[in-house]
Amino acid sequence: MDIADLRVFEAVARLGGMNRAAAELNTVQSNVTARIRLLEEELKTPLFRRHSRGAALTAAGQRLLPYAARVAHLLDDARRAVEDDGSPKGPLVIGSLETTAALRLSPILTAYVGACPEVDLTLITGTTAELIEKVLAHQMEGAFVCGPVDHRDLEEEPVFREELVVVTAPAVRRPEELARKGDLKIVVLRAGCSYRQRLENILVKHGIVGLRRLEFGTIDSIMGCVAAGLGVTLLPKSVASRAWRDGRVAIHELPAADARVDTVFIRRRDAFASSALAAFLDCARPASAHADAAE
């Protein structure tokens, strides 16, 4: 069993077929099939079940896959380390909560793009759960998520501290009034949103249970729904302040234990940290210090 065999095995497992793996590896299907057959003979066990739509892992193949994937990522990191001469360049994929992207990242991105013109930066927004999964899967170098994360494979660095508020329609003067609404709905991002469980816990403290949910994909749609009186939400105060000043919503401050939340930057402990990522964090840290001082 050698590295080349494991790379072929990982590609077939990930893509679900010999043809698709051959296309990715720039080879022919017969070569992929032969390598898999030799690997199975060496290990004396089938690794795939062939079927009309491709190939599926056997139990033995499933046990081998994490090791093969680890080798594939290690080889990719080794190549990137050799190519990285200390000058920020090439692709950099970063993830962010939508609220963080809207509230915090504009000056950071402006400074970074100006300082590192040879970097091809991609910013992907998502929920905390989605972003953690993508970082763990090596699909992005790092991400801004709601902390703490406390995962053994991830490093996390506090970057911003947010003050959360309950956001309601303007007619609601106190959160306690929500208990009188028999059909109260919480308006949240899709499953995996870090503020979702926190909001439910806060409302339970006010005796509000049996909540129904309305899920939306953007902050703007959530604010519009809340302004129309269709439900309540929990957001950073800075995100809701403009709509509050315009009279479209009411905001309700919370005790510090419920209101304070850290946004942290996460990345894999075992992954290569590119010069492009290091330069990005150099831009983010001063911005975060300034934001915290302003608050």
Q: Report in angstroms the alpha-carbon separations of 53 from 13, 49, 184.
A: 13, 11, 47
Domains in the chain, start-ordered, CATH in brackets?
3-83 (1.10.10.10), 90-161+261-294 (3.40.190.10), 162-259 (3.40.190.10)
Q: What are the structure tokens assigned to 284, written together?
A: 């983010």
pLDDT at 204: 83
Read off φ and ψ for residue 134, nearest 5 degrees. -70, -40
Q: Looking at residue 148, what DSSP letter applies?
A: P
Please give the average pLDDT of every successive group of 10 residues along the chain, which has 295 residues. Answer: 88 92 93 93 94 90 92 87 93 94 91 95 93 94 93 94 92 78 79 78 78 83 90 90 92 90 94 95 76 51
Is-contact 203 234, C-beta < 8 A?
Answer: no
User: Which among 148, 174, 171, 169 has a CA at the least distance from the CA of 254?
Assistant: 174
pLDDT at 293: 47
pLDDT at 95: 97
pLDDT at 287: 64
Q: What are the structure tokens assigned to 8, written together?
A: 């072929």
Sign of torsion over alpha carbons 73, 79, 80, 82: positive
pLDDT at 75: 86
Whose tokens are 């009411």? That residue is 250
pLDDT at 82: 92
Is-contact 167 250, C-beta < 8 A?
Answer: yes
pTM over 0.85: no
